[in-house]
A and B are shown apart, each in its own frame.
Chain A
Amino acid sequence: MNYKFLIILAILLVLALLIVGTNISEKPQNNYLRIAAGQEIKGINPFNPAFNDAYSQFVISNIWEELYRYTPDFSDNPSAKSSSDRRIFPWIAEEMPSYKKVGDKYEAIIKLRDDVYWWDGERLTADDVVFTSNLMLKFRIPPQSWAGWSITGDESYVESVQKLDDFTVKYTLKELVPIFETGALMGYIFPKHQWETIIEKSIENHHKGTDKISEDERILIASEIWSINLGKNIKLNEIIGSGPFKPADWRKGEYIRLDANKDYWAKGRILEIDGREYEIGPYIDGILRKVYRSPDISNLAMKRGEVDIAGISPSDIPDFEKFKTMKIEDYTANSLFYLGFNLRRKPMSYLSFRQAVSYLYNKELLNERIFHGRLPPINSVVPFVNDYWHNSNLSKYGRGMSTAEREYKAYTILKEGGFKWSKEPGFNIVDGEATELIEKGEGLIMPDGKICPEVKLMGARPEDAPDSAQANIMLQGWMLDIGIPAKYTPTEFATAVDKLSPIDGSEPDFDINTSVGWLTDPDPGYIKDIWHSTQMPEVTAGGSNYSGYNNPEFDEMAEESAREMNPEERREMIFKLQEMISKDLPVYPTSTVKRIQVYRADKFKDWFNRKMYGIGGCNNPYSYMIIKPT
């Protein structure tokens, strides 16, 4: 063999060994929590609407804080007697808001804590709250607190905000609505002394003359503010927040490091969670969030001890159970998946058809066989995990029935609804119960005498979500069994969104949709936002009522519920709204999502598994401020 080649190979080998041999330097001893993340964060500018993903929000939510929050364990707060949701409790605020009716308007008085400090040592005062609120009122910049956007728009219920003293703020409201508490008061507060100059400069750049800021100018100002690159235009160590962790080092595509705020204003404050008291830290040195683009690799990193917490899938559980140093926790997310029917088209416009399909969809079987317990079945558009608003007395649509029983029930419903067949499906009936389908139905005829057209099941593509595709194929099979001409149509996600909610304001183009789900808020206001008739895409371009549900009774109650401040009465309305959807079936709720996390119990203790959100992430800000190194 050529000696030069051998020499090159030898040099490469020696080089490799040298590198391996000299590496790795001793890592400094530390108590950083190392998190395995699936994606990198997009950015940390809190005003940028693109940064609404959970990854970016994880960092943002550790920097800025809200006036009010939901209690850590979503238990009732005894002092929230006059609030629209008893689970709300003050964070930066000192106490719950007090309301007063003045003429045809309302005044909300918010008292702030006087011990909250920004990272640069300045005190957080009413000036900051007024500045932040005005920023949204004047420029309608979509803030990144997921509910906070509700303060924006022409229909805003907030008229003005003013400072009464250094620690008291008054909001004047056109009407008193629950979203004021769960939206506006849960938005992040920003330091006036950092952002005011930036915004004034932007106004100077884009606002000409002395008149009121025009719509075009407002857009230019807002987009300039959300384009500010935090980490570059404002360096990481210059960002001013009030939260428990400060961004310290960010290498894009690799990791971000947050350092503990050793002077955190809430340090020492007691949090009561599930009957146990926790003293707020933070006790760890900080958080290191590293990107692993493949779950297989993040699993290996977890096992090798490169990271301390990671998300895993159900099939990984037995593998991780072998590690005594690790603990596995799961939680059910507040997610909502459903079959969406296009009520504008036949046969979906027939209630009996929608009921029949709902009976056919055996979500219990699918969860067990296809999704391996990952998608627990739900019966309401408010998932059961949000028990404060969940109505558990809704139709279960065939729960506990066998496939043959479901198919027989669906056939009966269609028959009673006026559907006919050229050849009816045949069942083996024993003691009045269907035990087996013995002959498939054919030639379904609708109550209007016309032949039932092909019903397209628009669902995820097998390459994107193989298990969902399998579920669609099974539903297609069950529908074909009783003679419904169903066809699973794999559709890429963006195409599906385009068909469901065309941006040009035209009618949605689908029959049955199985590809879209929502991560819902703890507040059920989303029911109105999604299914109110004004949200049909042909009425409001980009609206979310894809099904075209148009029920005046529903609309009226949804509007009323959005104004009702008494939680008990509001709950009744929300329950009724869930009933209406369950009865009218514009959508058939199918499942929520169960997520599993594994963490190093030998390194950190006092983890808190928050209902709906798990032991970490952007919606559980509490875990990281209370965990302690062992």
Chain B
Amino acid sequence: MGRLRYPLRRIIEGLITLFIVMTIIFLLFRVMPGDPLSIVIDPKMTPEVKEMIRHSYGLDQPMFVQYGIYLKNLLTLNLGESFRYSQPVSEVLAAKIPNTLLLFTSASVLSAVLGIILGRIIAWRRNSKLEYGLTLAGLFFYEMPIFWFGLILIYLFAFRLNLFPISGMIDFELWTLGATTGEKIIDILHHLILPLITLTTASFCGMMLLMRTSMVETMKEDYVEAAKARGLPDKVVRDSYAARNAELPVITAFILSLSASIGGGVLTEKIFSWPGIGYELYQATIGRDYPLAQGCFFILTLMTILAVIVIDISYAYLDPRVSYD
């Protein structure tokens, strides 16, 4: 019963958090200066037409009425209609989320895999040249501006060596003028490589250092020393004794990065013209497209809350020392 009560409590807390975050987001957009319909209204339109447009979007209603409609829509998962595209927000997001997931979730997974493997190795070989080299390289890539690195990769591998496409997710000529499904899949993968390398290179370091620190701490534990004393091979001690316990904080960071990956990345999407949700969120925010921006934030908040709940609950199962009874 205790194990059920805890998840239930976390879900209720998550819903309350979601409500508070969405209310803050609603208010933040309304206190931002500027007319949200400036992207729709042509200054040369007659005042009557301008008013008509304002009315049709419900922006002539008092704020508490707008808030009421907003909450009602959220409850029914109706995210409203984008000012910019005059399309349901759910449709705009549905078109972009898979693209974002493909790139950013792949990058998160790849970063985590690389980070865990490399972190494990450098923790095991502390004070070696390998540790210094990998840490330095990781920090360098972690701190470098991602657009700069992306541009260099495009210039070298796409423009100069002609190995990869310059940008985008597909070859528009190939797709629109006829390609088989197989060719289309290969084409997407081909377009995926450079942005994936850029993102992974820039983000694996965080995971690697976290893994290293966690592993170093774990290696001081008595049971690891005991395993060594029992004469077990290094590989077994490292992978089965030290690494398994050291992976817990890394898994937390990984799940959070997975949930955040749905938000994409503005700079990467801009440089690689990747049609994802990050650039859309940026455009919606600066263009005061309330419904679209709110929709993006809703999905992001929901995913983050879900991730935190999953982490909390999974800890109870992953780590026998943790109990919620």
Contact = CB atoms under 8 A, between A and B. Distances in A.
Interface of A: 1-2, 4-5, 8, 16, 19-20, 22-25, 27-28, 30, 32, 34, 40, 42-43, 45, 48-52, 140, 142, 146, 149, 152-155, 219-220, 222-223, 226-227, 229, 232, 248-249, 251-255, 257, 288, 290-294, 296-297, 300-301, 303-304, 306, 492-495, 497-499, 501, 503, 518, 526, 529, 540-544
Given A300-B155, A497-B34, A140 B49 contact: yes
Given A5-B117, A297-B167, A495 B158 contact: no
B253 to A, nearest CB: 20
B52 A293 contact: no
Nearest to B171: A24
A24 B164 CA distance: 10
A8 B113 contact: yes
B303 interface: no
A500 B178 CA distance: 51
A146 B42 CA distance: 9
Interface of B: 32-35, 38-50, 52-53, 55-56, 81, 83-87, 91, 95-96, 99, 113, 117-118, 120-121, 130, 151, 154-155, 158-159, 162-164, 166-179, 183, 186-187, 189-190, 193, 269-273, 275-276, 279, 286, 288
A243 B164 CA distance: 37
A525 to B, nearest CB: 9
A266 B99 CA distance: 41
Nearest to B162: A304
Contacts of A51: 86
Given A2-B117, A288-B176, A499-B33, 12 more contacts: A5-B117, A19-B186, A23-B186, A24-B187, A43-B87, A48-B86, A140-B52, A142-B42, A251-B175, A255-B176, A293-B271, A297-B271
Contacts of B34: 492-495, 497-498
A24 B163 CA distance: 10
A101 to B, nearest CB: 27
Given A43-B86, A153-B48, A494 B38 contact: yes
B173 to A, nearest CB: 5
Given A43-B85, A297-B271, A254 B33 contact: no
In the A-B complex, list the 5 residue pairs whose CB atoms are closest, starting with the nearest: A494-B34, A253-B275, A223-B56, A495-B33, A255-B172
A213 to B, nearest CB: 13
B44 A292 contact: no
13 contacts: A1-B121, A2-B117, A19-B193, A42-B84, A152-B46, A155-B46, A219-B56, A251-B172, A253-B96, A293-B167, A293-B269, A494-B38, A529-B44
B56 A253 contact: no
B33 A492 contact: yes
A303 to B, nearest CB: 7
A518 B1 CA distance: 67
Contacts of B174: 24-25, 27
B126 to A, nearest CB: 15
Contact of B273 (A19, A226, A293): A293
Contacts of A220: 56
A301 B275 contact: no
Name which of A16, A45, A222, A499 has the most chain B CB atoms within 10 A of its CB. Answer: A16
Contacts of A255: 172, 176
A19 B183 CA distance: 10
Contacts of B99: 253
Contacts of A153: 46, 48-49
A306 B45 contact: no
Nearest to B49: A142
Contact of B118 (A5, A32, A149): A5
A49 B176 contact: no
